[in-house]
Amino acid sequence: MTRTAGALAFAGAAATALSACGGAEAAEPEAAATTVDPVYADGVYDGPRVTNIRGGYQAQVTIEDGTITDVQAIEAGTQDAESVSINARAIPELRDKVIEAQSADVEAVSGSSYTSPAFTESIQGALDDAAAAAE
């Protein structure tokens, strides 16, 4: 993109953003904060066992005060040296990502193309159970 084209694109985006600010009309007051029921019921939930060519994967998720506080592996692939090595790195990283995101919708760990999708699928199953129990 040329410098002129970039400047024009920026000017157009800025004008669009400013036009969204509105005119002299007063903004609507924000609605009062409401209490939201927890998405997840407290407890320890085992996800489904998910298999692929690298073995079986199953996660256990702990929920406290409606929050994901821990994720552990019940089963993590085969005992093949490569799988053990990858899982020793990938599962703790996935655990940390899920706790931070409070969701199983996290990025895969690089180099764990079998572990990441299987383990997060099991985590999602456990979270689905926790959400159903909260209803």
56-74 confidence digits (pLDDT tens)? 999 999 999 999 999 999 9
**Amino acid identity for residue 24 in this structure:** A
**Mean pLDDT of the region 11-37:** 48
pLDDT average, residue stretch 81-98: 96
User: Which residues, in sequence order, are bridge partners of residue 58?
Assistant: 75
Model confidence, pTM: 0.72
